[in-house]
Amino acid sequence: MFTVSGIMASDTSEVQRKKLTTFEEWRKEAAKGPKKWMIYGTEDKPESFIETIFLGLQQYFIMFGATVAVPLIVGGWIAQYYQIPDNVMRLVTTDLITIQFLGAGIATLLQTWHKTGSGLPIVQGSSFSFLGTLFAIISSTNIIALSEGYGSVKAFIAAVPDPWLRASIVLRYTTGAIIAGSFFEIALGYSGVMGKIKKVLTPVSIGPTIIIIGLSLYGAPSAMHTAEGWWEAGLVVTFIVLFNQIIGRKHVKIQMFSIITSLFLAWFIAALLTIGGYATGVTAVNWGPLVNIVQKNYYIRAPVPFPWGIPKFVPAFALGILAAYLASMVESVGDYHSVARMSEAPPPTEWMISKGLGAEGVGCLIGGIFGAAGGYTSYSENIGSIGLTRVASRYVFQWGAVLILFLGGMITAWGAFMSSMPGPIVGGLYLVVFGLIAAIGVSIVSMADMKSSRNLFIIGLAMFWGLAVPQMASSMTPWVQSLGWWAWAGEILQVIAETGMAVAAIVAIILDNIIPGTPEERGMLHPDWK
């Protein structure tokens, strides 16, 4: 009797469950409780404003490393190819970091407000998908020199002796490409075209994409010199395990603030060891940016449109960056499902996906106008933090965006203070967070029939290609260069091939929709997917 009634109740709930089409329907469904393990769901607010501020600040710390990394990388390339002295480049990079946070704060507010974005609790930050194209633009020294009216890069450097002006001119071309490409994402997003892709998405295609998003970031800790500073990274991992999984299991507040607490403790220990002369090299706290800020009396930077001058548009650059936008959009669609799953909320609706991508395009446009070094996308790091802190409140993420906007985007002294954090500490955070993203992908895949040889074939192929193809993409360069006028199309294909999550998504979506399979087999009728 119990079994029969249980089945009948389950069947009734399935009948009553309707397809969510509007944000209000999604919000009402997301607000239903009780939550299984979330402390604050997407529609909840913390008990106090002070708690909200610190939870929001925690999100800022999580996205800090990667958001600083992009301006540093771009600045390094400009210095290398255009002979910008280190003292000048430090000032340029300080501005680039501040601008990057300004745009990230604005983009996050646009994303978390359902009128303009998806309404999901997602932080927007620098996208590594843009680096390949930005490197191609910056290293195209002859194209930039010819566009400026000089026969070679040597002639350009000789004719423009002011290094700040030289760097500014190059940045006009990168921001021009970012602005041009943003209209592409805005159009695809707000028109609803990209949202239509939800109709061909299933756990079989989204699951492996999210898994690859997490696994493809395996190199991020190494980029932060984690191996050289293994003991600092180990401190962060140890503190997070202690505060999040041991003490935090009994004390919820400690678990919620486990990330910010762990980072500050490791940072404080590193500062003491630096002062004592025990921490050196990459493990030492870098006081240089702060000293530079004090020497220049440069504490606050007001937002200025077109700080490098009026952007310059080169068709090849604009077309080449479209691949970065496509890769970013594919990744974001996976992120939207991932954050909903992590937050114990229903899958995003078609229009939530469309507006989310449109908001990312607007964020890139605004960032380009204010001189950002790269585009913006949803941040996997902060999605992973939801799993650690059990906080998915949009209210918290919106206040976090305000902190990102003002602390990171206007107060240069704060940015300089933050950039003093040793790289291995950030690397330790990555070691914990990125694995959670892959695990969420596994949980989505489990909605499908994993005894099906069809599903195993598609998922296995997509995941392996997502890891293997980017390793071979560099060999495409001679072929791309041989295309002549059509090289821009080859560059687009190459950038997509270099992006693991884009490869995995394309392979999985195509195969899942051409190889016959029942809705039940594909996971389309699973209660958490419908």
- Where on the phi/psi map is residue 398: left (φ > 0), alpha (ψ -120 to 50), or beta? alpha
Residue 29 is predicted with a pLDDT of: 86
Cα–Cα–Cα angle for 284, 288, 289, nearest 5°? 115
Q: Does residue 9 lie in a domain region?
A: no
Question: Looking at the 3D structure of the chain, how many domains does it have?
Answer: 1
Tell me which of 193 and 49 has the higher pLDDT. 49
Going by pLDDT thresholds of 50, 70 and 90, the confidence category of residue 528 is: low
Sign of the Cα pseudo-torsion (104, 110, 114, 116, in order): negative
Long-range Cβ contact pairs of 474-482 (< 8 A, separation 24 or more)? 474/498
Chain centre distance of CA 249: 28
**Residue whose entry in the numeric block shows the structure tokens 């594919």:** 330
Q: Is 7's pLDDT higher than 60?
A: no
Which residues are within 8 A (CB) of 488 and not within 5 positions of it... i.e. 6 or more apart?
Answer: 315, 316, 319, 320
Q: Is 172's pLDDT higher than 70?
A: yes
Q: Does residue 249 lie in a domain region?
A: no
- Nearest-angstrom CA–CA distance, 55 and 59: 7
149-183 residues labelled b (16+ CB within 10 A) or e (exposed): ebeebeebbeebeebeebbbbbbbbbbbbbbbbbe
Residue 356 is predicted with a pLDDT of: 94
Indicate the SS3 state at residue 110.
Answer: helix
CB atoms within 10 A of CB 416: 24
Q: Does residue 401 lie in a domain region?
A: yes
Rounded to two decimals, the pTM is: 0.73
Mean pLDDT of the chain: 83
Residue 366 is predicted with a pLDDT of: 96
Going by pLDDT thresholds of 50, 70 and 90, the confidence category of residue 287 is: confident
Q: Is 235's pLDDT higher than 70?
A: yes
Going by pLDDT thresholds of 50, 70 and 90, the confidence category of residue 382 is: confident
Give me the mean pLDDT over the 502-515 stretch: 90
Give me the mean pLDDT over the 336-356 stretch: 88
Q: Does residue 165 lie in a domain region?
A: yes
Range of the domain at 311: 34-230+283-439
Q: Is 486's pLDDT higher than 60?
A: yes
Is 522 in contact with 512 (CB distance < 8 Å)? yes
Going by pLDDT thresholds of 50, 70 and 90, the confidence category of residue 65 is: low
Cα–Cα–Cα angle for 220, 139, 484, nearest 5°? 115
Q: Does residue 13 lie in a domain region?
A: no
Residue 13 is predicted with a pLDDT of: 39
Q: Does residue 449 lie in a domain region?
A: no
Q: Is 299's pLDDT higher than 60?
A: yes
Q: Is 495's pLDDT higher than 70?
A: no
- Nearest-angstrom CA–CA distance, 111 and 352: 10
Q: Does residue 252 lie in a domain region?
A: no
Indicate the SS3 state at residue 321.
Answer: coil
Q: Does residue 29 lie in a domain region?
A: no
Tell me which of 460 and 286 has the higher pLDDT. 460
DSSP 328-349: HHHHHHHHHHHHHHHTT-PPPP
Q: Is 70's pLDDT higher than 60?
A: yes
**Residue whose entry in the numeric block shows the structure tokens 């604050």:** 40
